[in-house]
Structure 1
Amino acid sequence: MSTARILLRTLVLASVTAGLVVPAVAVSAQPSVSELTQQINKESEELAKVVESYNRLTEESKATRAAVEELDTKLGPLQDELARAEIEVGQIAVTAYKSGGLSTASALLDSGSSDGFLDRLGTLDHLARDRQQRLSNFTSTQVTYLAEQEKLQAALAKQEAQVKELADRKKSIEADIDKLMDKREEAYGAATESGSSYSGEIPSVAGAAGVAVEFAYGAIGKPYVWASSGPNGYDCSGLTLAAWRAAGKSLPHNAAMQWDRVAKINRGDLAPGDLVFYNNLAHVGLYVGDGKVIHAPTFGRTVELASVDMMAPYGYGRVR
């Protein structure tokens, strides 16, 4: 075989070999921006559920602590009344029956006819019975309060243990967030969005709903901050809470708890100020009209105006 023919054969084999190697290189290529976005969205949804669990636990602990404080406030005066009632009953008993006879009681009630004495003795007995009944009522109420207090203290201890458990998981959660930020930086060249405030026209809406809508527009461009209700950043339920707080309405800092609080409405009844829930109640946004919601999306992103169908809605609610 000639030298030229051997050289040509070698070049052809090299080309074929190179062609066979190309797919292997493609397999080891870095994920595309689209693939990274899908990964980020998936992990963000899981982290959002953790955030909402934290928010719910915080709300429940706050409510239990308030109930304990309210019960303590009731118990203080009750204990004082109980002590006074016990003293009164004791004084009446001692006055009427000391020395084993009725002479002291008679002197106390003033001397006079036997009929008058019996009347006054009856009055003393009635007074004793009245004080004893009061004492019994106070004691019964105290027993009820103490039982309720014990139950609340047990619930609070359990919730605080869960809070501690969540605090112990905090490092793991933060590590997950850091991974998300690294992925965002890889995909977009920056770990977080540099959101800008809204400069368009804000729709005019009457009443309290208008105040909530205007507040939400004012929050556009602020960063997502988990477990935050502003003013420098928000998570999803923190934003809806803050918007309606500005309008004079109170909402819990948790999407599922907000769902429990609102009046349920149909899609066709949506009006500005209503809440739209997503992701099995792990996400919520504020409807502002024209098929749009304002929401705090997830880690690394900022509050934005988006389509009400940015994801499949779970349901719709009106703040009462």
Structure 2
Amino acid sequence: MASHRRPKRPSRTRVTVLTATAAAAVALTSQAANAAPKPTKSEVKEQVDKLYQEAERATNQYDGAKENQEKLEKEIGRLQDKVAREQDELNELRTGLGAMASEQYRSGGIDASVQLFLSADPDDYLDKASTLDSLSEQQLESLKKVQAKQRTLAQERAEAAEKLKDLADTRTELGKKKQQIQSKLSKARQLLNSLTAAERQEIADSEARASRSSAGRVDLGNEAAASKFGAAALNAAASQIGKPYFRGGTGPNSYDCSGLTQWAYAQAGVGITRTTYTQVNDGARIGMSQLKPGDLVFFNNTEHVGLYAGGGQVLHAPYPGAYVRYESMSTIGSFQFGVRVTG
């Protein structure tokens, strides 16, 4: 005979455990379904290249601020030297007035006008026109010299103080740009570290092959150089093919993009500025159809620069992990314009 006993109801504890287990299983299944797939090697390379571009932008801004800092430090040094000289001259003028007062005292007392000057601001004193008649021509001339020297000294001290403030602001900007650069490069390293060792080696080998092969297999055509300076700069840069990109590098062992172009033109006997943002003004701007070997070429909102080599090729220092090499203009980025340096 079948039993008619009612089945035993599960305990509340057991129901809670089963419910929690089921919920966890659903959550894990959902996470697995929604988890982003691991980026491929080409996707990582694309993201890393973008970060390198952003780091290069911050590097250019850092280099510009660094250049400005050095300029300000020189200007402040000159101003401080000038202030010291002006102060010495002012002290000599005051000594002369003191000698004048002593002479008057020995001959019967100090002139009231000179006595007033020695105890008050000469600017305030000379404004009192009623006292001018009591001064001799020599005294008046001496007082005016002191007044002019004090005004000059005050202006120079104010200018030096303003330059010091600018310097403090520039140093703050340098710190921010350095953090930006480090942040971008750190993210790039993290992305590369997400790849296997074999994948990272493939990327490194690819960069090395691109640099080695660019020296002997690139067809540059037979275009005439923009000038003798352009030809010399291009030849100098070509001698650096295979040397590594390094942020802030200005040669001769490593380079960043504007460091290479500056170094190359220096070998041609032409001085150009340090950053891409200033090199855009180092010559006449030209369009793509006007480019000739030796011209500077700017990409990506003027954040990257190289030397036009002919045949649609650019000789440049690309980015971290790469080497000085020729590369097709079509693969570097968005072309902005060229600049022809005439010496």
Q: Which residue of 2 aligns with 1:92?
A: 100
Q: What is the Cα deviation at residue 145 of structure 1?
A: 0.8
Q: 1:276: Cα distance to partner?
A: 1.0
Q: Which residue of 1 aligns with 2:68?
A: 60
Change (3 A) 1:267 1:132: farther
Deviation at 1:131, TM superposition (A): 2.6
Q: Decide which of 138, 148, 158 is 1:147's aligned counterpart.
A: 158
Take 1:142 and 1:184, find their aligned partners in 2: how far apart are those partners?
A: 66
Query: Equivalences for 1:3-18 in 2 at 5 Å?
Result: none
- Structure 1 CA distance for aligned equivalents of residues 330 and 71 of structure 2: 34
- Does 1:315 pair with 2:337? yes
Give the drift of 1:168. 5.0
Using the TM superposition, give the Cα deviation of residue 49 of structure 1 relative to its aligned residue in structure 2, in angstroms.
1.6
Q: Residues 309 and 134 from structure 1, CA distance in 2 versus in 1: closer, same or farther, beyond 3 angstroms? A: farther
> Aligned ranges for residues 277-292 of structure 1 at < 5 Å?
277-292=298-313
Tell me what 2:267 maps to.
246
In the superposition, the TM-score normalised over structure 1's length comes to 0.74
1:159-308 paired onto structure 2 within 5 Å: 159-167=170-178, 171-179=182-190, 181-182=192-193, 186=199, 189-191=202-204, 193-194=207-208, 195-196=211-212, 198=215, 205=225, 207-308=228-329
Q: Residues 44 and 192 of structure 2 are in contact (CA less than 8 Å); yes or no, is this contact kept in structure 1?
A: no
Question: Aligned with 1:95: secondary structure?
Answer: helix
Aligned in 2, Cα 1:189/1:239: closer, same or farther, shift over 3 Å?
same
User: Cα distance 1:180–1:242, how it changes in 2: closer, same or farther (>3 A)?
Assistant: farther
Q: Does 1:158 align with 2:164?
A: no
SS of the residue 2:239 aligns to: helix
Kindly provide the CA deviation profile for residues 45-69 of structure 1, in whole angstroms up to 9, marking residues without a partner as x: 2222222222122112112112112
Cα distance in 2 for partners of 1:165, 1:308 equals 32
Contact 1:49–1:282, Cα closer than 8 Å, also in 2: yes
Task: Name the CA shift for 1:74/1:269 in 2 (closer, same or farther; >3 Å).
Answer: farther
Measure, in 2, the Cα distance between the counterparts of 1:101 and 1:72: 36
Q: What residue is the counterpart of 2:26 in the other structure?
A: none
Contact 1:236 1:283 in 2 (8 A): yes
What CA distance in whole angstroms lies between the structure 2 residues aligned with 1:37 and 1:169?
20
Query: Residues 80-108 of structure 1, C-alpha deviation per residue, up to 9 Å, x if partnerless?
Result: 21211221233234324653279xxxxxx
Measured at CA, do residues 72 and 28 of structure 1 come closer, stay the same or move farther in structure 2, by a change above 3 Å? Answer: closer
Indicate the SS of the match to 2:338.
strand
Residues 170, 304 of structure 1: alpha-carbon distance in 2 compared, 3 angstrom cutoff: closer
Q: Per-residue deviation at 1:248?
A: 2.9
1:284 counterpart SS class: strand
> Is the deviation greater in 188-197 or in 226-235?
188-197
Unaligned runs of 5+ in 1: 1-23, 103-121
- What is the Cα deviation at residue 180 of structure 1? 5.2
Equivalent position SS for 1:77:
helix
- Is the 8 Å Cα contact of residues 102 and 110 (structure 2) preserved in structure 1? no
State whether residues 36 and 187 of structure 1, in contact with CA within 8 Å, keep that contact through their aligned partners in structure 2.
no
Segments of 5+ residues of structure 2 without an aligned counterpart are 1-31, 112-132
What TM-score comes out, normalization by structure 2 length? 0.69
Task: Provide the C-alpha distance between the structure 2 equivalents of 1:184 and 1:160, rounded to a whole number of angstroms.
Answer: 40
- Displacement after TM superposition at 1:181 (Å): 4.4
Q: Which residue of 2 aligns with 1:119?
A: none
Count of aligned pairs between the two proteins:
276
Q: 2: CA distance between counterparts of 1:306 and 1:169?
A: 27
Q: 1:275, CA displacement in angstroms? A: 1.1
Distance in 2 between the 1:30 and 1:132 partners? 82
- Once the 2 structures are TM-superposed, how far is the Cα of residue 199 of structure 1 from its aligned partner? 5.0
How far did 1:226 drift? Answer: 1.0
Amino acid in the other structure paired with 2:93: A
In structure 2, do the counterparts of structure 1 residues 251 and 188 end up closer, same or farther at CA, with 3 Å as the change threshold?
same
Alignment match, 1:47: 55
Cα distance change of structure 1 residues 184 and 156 upon mapping to structure 2, 3 Å threshold: farther
Match of 1:132 in 2: 143
Root-mean-square deviation over aligned CA pairs: 3.2
Amino acid at match of 2:187: D
